[in-house]
């Protein structure tokens, strides 16, 4: 449906700034209350982020703020689930894999919980690695049975040509008309 959050921007410098704000990758799923913010030295201002759940899925993007030749980005991950919830899913990246080098595998701990079907059912799991512009870097789908709960480790390959930066690992679970999603940020470092 919809949600709202506040984002506080602060000018920690000694000169007044006008900071333009731009959305990348999730423009169809969020709007900003202001396209720019003017701040004097030491001032802060809050803008409102309005989220709209148009489709189920995981949508990745960023807000880019530029001022005085400095660009900062704020990662945005929007997870939209179905109203009918038959499964819950959690993706956890262990601390030692929060930063990995290109060419290595990202390890994630996946936990699925069957909260709706009283018997073992087959689910479709889709794994993604996305950049902060919402581009899919890696995608894989598999099907398996889940009775009550299933916990397993999943390895996702990070290609050796992957550019250093922030990325998002995502799992989407589909069963009947139910959709669940979980995601977590990680970094690729040289």
**Sequence-ordered list of residues with C-beta below 8 angstroms from that of 79, at least 6 positions apart, any chain:** 58, 59, 181, 182, 183
The 10s digit of each residue's pLDDT in 3-60 is 999 999 999 889 999 999 999 989 889 999 999 999 999 999 999 999 998 888 889 9
3-state secondary structure of 176: coil
Whole-structure pTM value = 0.82
The pLDDT tens digits of the residues spanning 133-171 come to 889 999 999 998 888 889 999 999 999 999 999 999 999
- Taking the C-alpha atoms of residue 160 and residue 156, their distance in angstroms, rounded to an integer, is 13
Tokens of 148: 């009550």
Average pLDDT, the chain: 91
Model confidence band, residue 81 (pLDDT cutoffs 50, 70, 90): confident
| pLDDT > 90? residue 85 | no
Task: With CA atoms as reference, report the closest residue to 10 among 86, 96, 72.
Answer: 72
Residue 93 has pLDDT above 90, yes or no: yes
């Amino acid at each position: 449906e919809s949600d709202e959050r506040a984002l506080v921007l602060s000018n920690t410098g000694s000169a007044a700034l006008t900071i333009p704000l731009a959305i990348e990758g999730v423009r169809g799923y969020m709007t900003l209350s202001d396209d720019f913010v003017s701040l004097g030295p030491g001032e802060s201002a809050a803008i409102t982020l309005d989220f709209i759940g148009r489709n189920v899925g995981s949508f990745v993007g960023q807000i880019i703020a530029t001022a005085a030749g400095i660009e900062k980005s704020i990662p945005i991950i929007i997870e939209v689930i179905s109203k009918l919830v038959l499964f819950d899913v959690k993706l956890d990246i262990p601390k030692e894999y929060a930063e990995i080098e290109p060419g290595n595998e990202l390890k994630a701990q996946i936990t699925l919980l069957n909260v709706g079907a009283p018997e073992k059912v087959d689910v479709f799991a889709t794994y993604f690695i996305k950049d902060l512009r919402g581009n899919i870097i890696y995608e894989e789908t598999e099907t398996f049975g889940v009775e009550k709960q299933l916990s397993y480790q999943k390895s996702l390959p990070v290609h050796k040509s992957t550019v250093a930066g922030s990325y998002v690992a995502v799992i989407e679970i589909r069963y009947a008309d139910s959709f669940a999603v979980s995601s977590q940020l990680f970094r690729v470092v040289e």
